[in-house]
Chain A
Amino acid sequence: MKRYDAIIVGGGHNGLACAAYLARAGRKVLVVERRERIGGAAMTEEVFPGFRFSVFSYVVSLLRPEIIRELELPRHGLHILPLESTLTPLRPDGKAGDYLAQWSDHDQNRRELARHSVRDAEAYDEFGLLLHRMARAIKPLLGVAPPDPASLDLRELWDLWRLGRYFRGLPEKDLHALWKLLTMSAADYLDEWFEGEALKGTKSASGIIGTLLGPRSPGTAYVLLHHYMGELDGVFRAWGFARGGNGSVSAAIAAAAQAHGAEIRTQAPVSKILISGSSATGAVLDNGEELRAPIVVSGADPRRTFLGLVGEQHLPDEFAAAIRRYKFRGSSAKVNLALAEPPRFICMPQPGPHLRGAISISPSVDYLERAYDDAKYGEISRRPYMDIIMPSMLDPAMAPPGKHVMSIFVQYAPYHLNGGWNDARREELGDTVVNTLAEYAPNLKSAILHRQVITPADIERIVGLSEGNIFQGELTLQQMFFLRPAPAWARYRTPIRGLYQCGSGTHPGGGVMGAAGRNAAMEILGARA
């Protein structure tokens, strides 16, 4: 029997990042992945012949620059293509139809905003600067294991003191601005700045992603910041698409891990984490094979890890209760389309740069709130929010020549659907999405060659994310920082000695960020991040 220093359960991007850092430090590491391919939700698949999709997660923005740097990801094949615009088509009134476009060119963007509201164009830069400053203020939090404020442990007290000193050093004005972002609704927050419905709708949309909250619920303003933290090549706010799809992010991290000597096994589903006394000693695969290591790191979400792979009998009651009440409530779905021709939006019928950016169906805050109202009571949004990109416009290798792939992120599709998910409801969701989008781009229906619809139940079944939550648990204030996933256990450690967590269910949460994997590795290695 082979022995390892550490076994990583789950070959998602965080597990791979954790493996890469451990291997880089000279540890003998094995990654075991249940599926036939690595990447978890960050993967590319040729779903239909010639058409390749980032089936689940589809953009890169939050990937930590230090990870790109330290693991030399570009050398291992990562190439990020920027998404430079966001187009928000407005309700097609009559023939013309209006739109709001946000461009990366400052002057062009300002002219476009001023076309809708001079006041908003004036406020936009100041708003951007403030959020930029807030994102910077909170950035040091992303790279550290959050200290538990109730702890008496000297090391944690030291971390707590350092963090306290850091925040006390910030201007009081910034602290208050940060508090507002943490506690306000995206809608209220944006109301303080802007008047344009389309602008507020599109901005607040980033506040609701991955959660079952509407833009008028407090707590959604913070996620707005989370999405401002995207940092590409040192440039804040830039979003990008990985050449070859998001699978190439995972592939690059895996290649880095392997270059440092990590071993990766696919089709190796773990059925149980081995525990002897109160220490982890390894993992058992479905086929009965036992793998031994003094350190086991789980990239699976907290529910699967503790209630599934570990088992409640090995856990303190209070901890098990905290994991049970940890909220997932997946609310997002994905529709992937193979198209014979690009969509022609009523508001911008000619193919152009807008198709190389994001397209957002979010004409107003009320539109999003109504979409949420449906989901709140267990129904698919009748008119959903959609975030669309056309990967084949950026990377032609994603589709056969002249043809295209379209990736549609959809919200809300509640995991706890009345009556449950089945094939008919999945198709209903697909139809709702296509019909809604076709109102803005009428040629869409006839252009569709193939359609793949992924519900939260599918995400759970295929990728293994509980309740299909794309962040391994909602990013709400009571589940963040030192409370993620459970109070007193937010530092990647667990009540079981030698068992660690490294998934998005730990601080700082979701997005293809890699921070949790890196932080967990640092914690295991006892190094300062």
Chain B
Amino acid sequence: MSDVVVIGADANGLVAAHLLARAGHKVTLVQEHGARERTSGWVPAALARELALDVAVEWPDPWLRAPLDGGGVLELWRDRAKSVDSIRRLSARDAGAWPRFCERMSALARLLERIYLEPPPSLVDLRFALRVRRLGREAMEDFMRLLPMPVAELLDEWFASDVLKGALGALAVRHLHQGPRSAGTAFRLLHYHAGSPSGVFRSPMSNLAALLHTRAGVGMREAKVSGITVRGGEVTGVVLDGGQELRAPLVLSAADPRRTLVELVEPGLLDPDLLRALRNVRARGVAAKIVLTLERAPEWQTLTLAPSLDYVERAYDDVKYGRISAKPWLDVMADGASAEVHFQYAPHEQSTDATIGERAAKLLAPYLPPIKQGKVLAPPAPWPEGQPHQAELALDQAFWMRPLPELAGYCTPIKGLWLCGQAMHPAVAGIAGYNCAREIGRA
């Protein structure tokens, strides 16, 4: 008999499980799918400290490499001066604007970081309003203007170079069913900037989940959950696929809210309005992943193929009508002689289509060592409809709206049942679990 069951062994489930274990609970974690080795996302110092973790967080450096039309490459480094040098080869004006852009964006990212390490503020939270006011006029105006803006418009205000704007715009709409000209996408640039050094607009990779996965203190079970049991409005445990029941007065689910509340909880226990709202949560996968085996290791770690904002926007046009992008934008991460390719856009139902590998290989051929083998991978099972954020991270599903206003506080209408997955604020792996565990401690 354990007193907490956590469903899902991703970074969120693991962080929540270990935090609760450290707080004295007896925790069982039900691992439905194997753990992933690398976690994408920022690991806040507070989280690492509370779990006494020595996490290795890394960004590729340069963190962005984009090939230029006439040969050559744009490189953005952690070292701002090196980025400026590289940008200068494209445009002196853009090189001049880069440091100021980085400063303005990083002031906003620091605000996001603070918002992210707490449960979402309420829409009319006075303290939140005062905190935004304390930013000072310039940053506050930037924040309010920038949140609803298309990322294309933001980049157009600052820069002229197509390659620079294309690559930054592409990274901002990563895993989003929108193009860079859609409103609300500038916020996404900040989202991926939060937790990163000034001038780096890409989330790092870490060994957060891998470290926690092997750590003692939490009972691990490998099984599939078939139901969450509820009696008298309170959670009583979970039922595993074989029929075995794990009883616990506290259950946390890192699975997506629709699966947790619509599939795992017995029908009829929840308000029909909530169920309808859950069905309306948007979680549309838009990317495919390809793993390439190369004849030799390339000399670089990363490569982004998104030559202009229009290019990315046209790639999005295809998915609007349910097609795989004829010319997708690609983001490659190389690790020795193997490379992982992020391919966007591909509608979820077609995300393992054979043409994806061919299109990517053809576009990448000029930049890669010869490809020995390529494989299109299906999206991981915990991603509903192939969407890693579980609920698309757009302004109407962010902060106090994430994934729904009724659920934004991590608790559910069923007493003792909590949500701690990527669908929860702030949609950063590990931090949703961290915030949820802390809320449970306060409750």
Contacts and interface: CB of A to CB of B under 8 A. Distances in A.
Interface of A: 149-150, 164, 167-168, 172-173, 175-176, 179-180, 182-185, 188, 191-192, 213, 216-220, 325, 327, 366, 369, 373, 376-377, 476-478, 483, 487-488
Contacts of A377: 310, 314
B250 to A, nearest CB: 27
Interface stretch (B74-82, B142-150, B200-208, B239-247): B142-150
Contacts of B157: 325
Given A180-B396, A325-B157, A483 B133 contact: no
A218 B123 contact: no
A188 B321 CA distance: 14
A325 B183 CA distance: 16
Given A150-B133, A183-B395, A216 B320 contact: yes
At the interface, is chain A mostly helix, strand, loop or mixed?
A: helix
A150 B137 contact: yes
Contacts of A173: 405
Contact of B123 (A175, A192, A483): A175
Contacts of A185: 182
B98 interface: no
B257 interface: no
Given A218-B183, A369-B320, A477-B148, A183 B396 contact: yes
Contacts of B146: 478
Contacts of B141: 150, 483, 487-488
B310 A218 contact: no
B396 A218 contact: yes
Chain B, interface size category, equals 35 or more
Contacts of B124: 164, 167-168, 172, 175
Contacts of B321: 366
Which 3 residue pairs across A and B have the least CB separation, nearest first? A477-B148, A219-B183, A183-B395
B19 to A, nearest CB: 29
Contacts of A167: 124
A377 B310 CA distance: 8
B439 interface: no
B149 A478 contact: yes
Contacts of B129: 149, 164
28 contacts: A149-B144, A164-B124, A164-B126, A164-B129, A167-B124, A172-B123, A173-B405, A180-B401, A183-B395, A188-B282, A213-B183, A216-B178, A217-B178, A217-B182, A218-B178, A218-B396, A366-B321, A369-B320, A376-B181, A377-B310, A477-B147, A477-B148, A477-B183, A478-B145, A478-B148, A478-B149, A483-B144, A488-B141
Contact of B182 (A175, A182, A216): A216
A441 B8 CA distance: 59
A476 B148 contact: yes
Q: Which of B132, B141, B314 lies at the interface centre, i.e. has the most chain A CB atoms within 10 A of its CB?
A: B141
A474 B320 CA distance: 24
B26 to A, nearest CB: 36
Interface in B118-164: 122-124, 126, 129, 132-133, 137, 140-141, 144-150, 153, 157
Given A150-B141, A188-B282, 14 more contacts: A149-B144, A172-B124, A172-B405, A179-B396, A180-B396, A182-B148, A183-B184, A183-B401, A216-B320, A325-B157, A366-B320, A376-B181, A478-B148, A488-B141
Interface in B61-96: none
B148 A183 contact: yes
Given A217-B181, A483-B145, A179 B133 contact: no
A335 B158 CA distance: 37
Nearest to A221: B396
B183 A176 contact: no
A184 B183 CA distance: 9
Contact of A219 (B132, B148, B280): B148
A373 B320 CA distance: 10
Contacts of B282: 188
A220 B320 CA distance: 16
Contact of A179 (B123, B183, B314): B123
A208 B350 CA distance: 30
A377 B394 CA distance: 24
B58 interface: no
Contacts of B140: 149-150
Q: Which of A167, A179, A213 lies at the interface centre, i.e. has the most chain B CB atoms within 10 A of its CB?
A: A179
B400 interface: yes
A167 B125 CA distance: 11
Contacts of A149: 129, 132-133, 140, 144
B353 interface: no
Contacts of B396: 179-180, 183-184, 188, 218
A218 B400 contact: no
Q: Which of A172, A184, A218, A369 lies at the interface centre, i.e. has the most chain B CB atoms within 10 A of its CB?
A: A218
B313 interface: yes
Contacts of A150: 133, 137, 140-141
Contacts of B178: 216-218
Given A192-B280, A219-B148, A476 B183 contact: yes
A176 B184 contact: no
Contacts of B405: 172-173, 176
Nearest to A150: B137
Contacts of A179: 123, 396, 400-401
A188 B396 CA distance: 10
A323 to B, nearest CB: 13
A485 B153 CA distance: 16
Given A179-B123, A376-B181, A218 B395 contact: yes
B3 interface: no
Contacts of B401: 176, 179-180, 183
Contacts of B317: 373
Contacts of A184: 394, 396
Nearest to A365: B320
Nearest to B310: A377
Nearest to B185: A218
A324 to B, nearest CB: 10
Q: Which of B147, B320, B321 lies at the interface centre, i.e. has the most chain A CB atoms within 10 A of its CB?
A: B320
Contacts of A191: 280
Nearest to A151: B137
A251 B317 CA distance: 45
Contacts of A488: 137, 141
Nearest to B276: A192
Contacts of A220: 183
A168 B128 CA distance: 14
B395 to A, nearest CB: 4
A263 to B, nearest CB: 39
Contacts of B133: 149-150
A256 to B, nearest CB: 37
Contacts of A218: 148, 178, 182-184, 394-396
A176 B396 CA distance: 9
Contact of A183 (B181, B280, B394): B394
Contacts of B183: 213, 217-220, 476-477
B136 to A, nearest CB: 8
A149 B178 CA distance: 30
A509 to B, nearest CB: 15
A141 to B, nearest CB: 15
Contacts of A180: 396, 401
Nearest to B145: A478
B145 to A, nearest CB: 5
A184 B401 CA distance: 12
A477 to B, nearest CB: 3
Interface in B380-403: 394-396, 400-401
A219 B150 CA distance: 10
A325 B122 CA distance: 32
B67 to A, nearest CB: 23
Contacts of B144: 149, 478, 483, 487
A192 B282 CA distance: 10
B422 to A, nearest CB: 20
B118 to A, nearest CB: 19
Interface string B397-432: 000110001000000000000000000000000000
